[in-house]
Amino acid sequence: MADIETAWTRLEAAAKAAGEKRIVELFDAEPGRLEALTLDVAGLHLDLSKQAWDEAGLEAALDLAHAADVEGARARMFGGEAINSSEGRAVLHTALRAAADADFKAAGVPVMAEVETVRQRMKSFSEAVRSGAITGATGKPFRAILHIGIGGSDLGPRLLWDALRPVKPEIDLRFVANVDGAEFALTTADMDPEETLVIVVSKTFTTQETLSNATAARAWLVEALGEAGANQHLAAISTALDKTAAFGVADDRVFGFWDWVGGRYSLWSSVSLSVAVACGWDAFQGFLDGGAAMDEHFRTASLEKNAPVLVALAQIFNRNGLDRRARSVVPYSHRLRRLASFLQQLEMESNGKSVGPDGRPAKRGTATVVFGDEGTNVQHAYFQCMHQGTEITPMELIGLSKSDEGPAGMHEKLLSNLLAQAEAFMVGRTTEDVVAELTAKGVSEAEIATLAPQRTFAGNRPSTLLLLECLTPQTFGALIALYEHKTFVEGVIWGINSFDQWGVELGKVMAGRILPELESGAVGTHDPSTSALIGRLKV
């Protein structure tokens, strides 16, 4: 096994050589390409054959993963070692979806008994709300849930609800995250307080945005139901029992989670209680089972046939080997339309670091910019730039092999666009083809000379295609776990800690200083621009 710097040098050289080739031609040059770069795992089909690497590039990428000791890091994570070194914490979101008899330990301390206790409490609460055994203050069953959180306490549950919600849910689920009061006003405008359960998600119960919205929600309940009645409509996800009690939440309606669960990995925990209630426990358990299936694959498969590892290596090949600093994620599924937003936090908060655990600067570029939206909508938006812009942006295209939702024939149309775009990005369209077409239409040579370059597509733009057999709780769980492990592998290879997020804190601290200045106090010391803006905006 090569040392890490030698492996990086080899990858960079292999990427340079591969970058001079056309992807489509590699299928003839490498007869085993499709077999080597496709695999089926936990209800997902992964095709990396349209990526830019050739055989030598893939081999160099795998050599880099071995040199970075991805296997050892993987064992340390599953073993519950404190791999979040800056905070001295284990990283065990995998325990949240494991079977009750699994052997997970955080720093040597078994955790599954606590995990299972909370899961059973979640299940009992979910079933009691859905059956009407738990009702609101006036005896009416809960027909709606208002979920209040932000960041990982919002993005994950929102995506999970979009993916799994029934077409006609028995319990409506709505979300409020932004401290902009417009979101609260618009979300609650047609909700009935008598039939609404408010679930507040904040581990410390101190997050400004969440507490502002929670306070507004409680006032909304109190106006309709009185103080005592409002308390019957509250539940919380938190570890700060003193604060939740002071807010009016009964202790038996507070569900905790642990410091070895980062916010962006917390959708497997009680953070998604609202979804478990609205969808039913069986759906949430299926989601956990799908994540566990991907965990088992990631933990045991060789790197050469390991889905999260290969997806991570494709990104590193593009990011570091070919200097492609952005990536687009496009799900051809309306239910997965928020996936890119979720991945922005998962990947950019995890790996948006320029310093390693040793305090030294990272030697190479780390996280890419992630963006995207649902297909086919984006084909009429930014795909022009993706096909013919000056920058090459790698893509991940995600679809469902089967779907029984919607009118007949719609899904086939969706799939035809997914496959066509993946092929078009790779194959492109030559100037010769354009000239032949225009000539056949009788266009003059002078006009052809102008039009042909504009209608030429260079192609050779890499993509990964990922198909879910169909969108079930299990396949969705496997998909999210795939991306979690991919993010971890990238952090290991880049030599950074993927599990802290100090970059989130500075803005919070400064906002805390500015708020009282905006409300009434004297303006403090700031740069001239900020001081002028505070003066302009003071209440």
pLDDT score recorded for residue 539:
64
* Residue 1 pLDDT class (50, 70, 90 cuts): low
Length of the chain: 539
- What pLDDT, in 10s, does the model give residues 441-475? 999 999 999 999 999 999 999 999 999 999 999 99
pLDDT score recorded for residue 520:
80
- What pLDDT, in 10s, does the model give residues 482-515? 999 999 999 999 999 999 998 888 888 888 889 9
Nearest to 142 by CA among 170, 162, 163, 116: 170
Say if residues 48 and 314 touch (Cβ distance below 8 Å): yes
* Fold matches, 4-81+287-403+410-500 and 112-257: yes
Position with higher pLDDT, 436 vs 512:
436
**Percentage of the chain with pLDDT > 70?**
100
Position with higher pLDDT, 49 vs 521:
49
Q: In the chain, what are the domain boundaries?
A: 4-81+287-403+410-500, 112-257, 503-537
* Residue 131 pLDDT class (50, 70, 90 cuts): very high
Return the active site residues.
349, 380, 508
Query: For the chain, what is the mean pLDDT?
Result: 96
Nearest to 188 by CA among 151, 209, 214: 214
Architecture of the domain made up of 112-257:
3-Layer(aba) Sandwich (3.40)
Task: Please give the CATH topology (third level) of the domain spanning 4-81+287-403+410-500.
Answer: Rossmann fold (3.40.50)
Least confident span in 78-82, 174-178, 179-183, 509-513 = 509-513
- What pLDDT, in 10s, does the model give residues 133-159? 999 999 999 999 999 999 999 999 999
* Residue 227 pLDDT class (50, 70, 90 cuts): very high
* Residue 524 pLDDT class (50, 70, 90 cuts): confident
Give the Cα separation of 190 and 188 in Å (integer): 6
Say if residues 46 and 466 touch (Cβ distance below 8 Å): yes
Read off the DSSP letter of residue 87.
Answer: T
pLDDT score recorded for residue 512:
87
CA atoms within 13 A on the CB side of 386: 26
